[in-house]
Amino acid sequence: MLLYKPIWQKKYYEHAIRDDKDFKLRFNYIHFNPVKHGYVEKVKNWQFSSFHHYVDKGYYDEEWGNFDRNVDLE
């Protein structure tokens, strides 16, 4: 018997980006999420991420996010 779960969360919260610092914080949050939730050990190992595109463009270093999980992402 297959059990189906919804893909999308029930609620979401709209957020207007206030400034460059806020944009960077949200951008980093998105790319670090697979590590945060234990899907991979390193950000670069999540094959579905746009992280790889931004590494190619020079926005991130390939080893970005390989630090203690308790570090602030700012």
DSSP result, 7-70: SS-S--------SHHHHHHHHHHHHHHHHHTTS-SSGGG-TT-THHHHHHTTSS-TTTT-S-TT
Q: What pTM value is reported for the model?
A: 0.69
Query: Who wins on pLDDT, 22 or 9?
Result: 22
Q: State yes or no: pLDDT of 14 exceeds 60.
A: yes
Section 9-32 average pLDDT: 89
Domain ranges of the chain: 20-56
User: Residues 34-44: what's their mean pLDDT?
Assistant: 93
**What does the pLDDT read at residue 43?**
95
What is the structure's pLDDT at 66? 86
